[in-house]
Structure 1
Amino acid sequence: MSHKREEQLPEERAGAKTILIVEDDDGIGAFLVQAISQETPHRVLLVHDAFQALKAVRSIRPGLLILDYQLPGMNGIELFDQLQTMGDLAAIPTILVSARLPEQEIRQRRIVGLSKPLELDELLETIERLLGGETPSR
């Protein structure tokens, strides 16, 4: 059984991109999908581990990656490094989320780091900044 979940808005809006979320915690994953789907025009695809993410990027080209750092089997930094070796994925903006961010590694890779527990407004503003859109109005 696949743990992939995709949510789309009923109508596509100009500038909508696909955001790939890699999060193994069901509650946090569901929260991110719901918040992003409701507050932005973007489509969301949620997978629960790095291996599912590597499989997903074969068929979709995300506009943004949101990676949990503490993933089973391969952490978010290791996943990011693997994605960088795939030529067309190297330029995709990435947000790494964790209760304990590996500060030096995210600086070296120029990844945006957000601490858990996530602040919803900060997350939404970061998404829109990285995707070049407007800040969502609330």
Structure 2
Amino acid sequence: MQSLQQQPNTHNPSPEKIILVVEDDDSIGSMLLEALSQETPYKPVWVSDGFQALQAVRSTKPDLFITDYRLPNMNGIELYDRLRGTHNFDNTPAIIMSAYLPEDEVRKRRLIGLNKPFEIDEFLETIEKLIP
């Protein structure tokens, strides 16, 4: 069976837009990766923690960040703050998802918050609104 990260994307925008997904739960991460690969023209990159995300942005500039709030070692808000502070991602939209969203922190940073569990259609529609 082909790895989800290697599945061909039938949509080929030019230039290819990249979505960085940071999710530590393997079942949720693989579901999001599959949905993004099959239902959008974008290239998803999935990592499981904030430190991997910081490494990933050294070699690629995502057009959208999607992060879980509850991550090991660094939560999604801390990750977002570090990305904005060190990698010049001020204009890169971000979605933060959790069953326990810190609403005040999400609003203060003008992030898009998705409460888990969410409908995949809602997730995909939100992405389409954020990527030009």
| TM-score clears 0.5 | yes
TM alignment of 1:2-41, pairs within 5 A: 5=5, 9=9, 12-14=12-14, 16-41=16-41
Q: Which has the higher helix share?
A: 2
Which amino acid in 1 is paired with 2:34?
Q
Partner residue, 1:113 = 113
Which stretches of structure 1, 4 residues or longer, exceed 6 Å deviation after superposition? none
Unmatched runs of 5 consecutive residues or more in structure 1:
133-138
Q: Please say if residues 11 and 41 of structure 2, whose CA atoms lie closer than 8 Å, have aligned partners that are also in contact.
A: no
For residue 15 of structure 1, report the CA deviation from its aligned partner.
Answer: 5.8
Amino acid of the structure 2 residue aligned with 1:125? E
Per the TM alignment, residue 8 of structure 1 is displaced from its structure 2 partner at its CA by 5.1
Q: How many residues align?
A: 128
Q: Percent identity over the alignment?
A: 52
Tell whether the 8 Å contact from 2:22 to 2:46 is kept in structure 1 after alignment: yes
Aligned CA RMSD, in angstroms, stands at 1.5
Q: If the length of structure 2 is used for normalisation, what is the TM-score?
A: 0.91
Alignment match, 1:135: none
What is the aligned partner in structure 2 of residue 136 from structure 1? none
Residue 52 to residue 7, structure 1, CA distance change in 2 (3 Å): farther
Unmatched 5+ stretches in structure 2? none
2:103 aligned residue: 103
- 1:62-83 CA distance string (max 9 Å, x none): 0000000000000000000001
1:80 aligned counterpart, secondary structure: helix
Matched, 1:91 2:82: no
Change (3 A) 1:106 1:40: same
* Paired residue type of 2:122: E
The answer as to whether partners of 2:22 and 2:67 remain within 8 angstroms in 1 is yes
Distance, in Å, in 1 between the alignment partners of 2:69 and 2:127 is: 17
Query: Aligned partner of 2:41: which letter?
Result: P
1:46 equivalent in structure 2: 46
When normalised by structure 1's length, the TM-score is 0.87
* 3-state SS in 1 of match to 2:81: helix
Deviation of residue 87 (structure 1)? 4.7
Say if 1:128 and 1:109 are closer, same or farther in 2 by CA, change over 3 A. Answer: same
Give the equivalent residue in structure 1 for 2:75. 75
In 2, distance between residues paired with 1:104 and 1:6?
Answer: 38
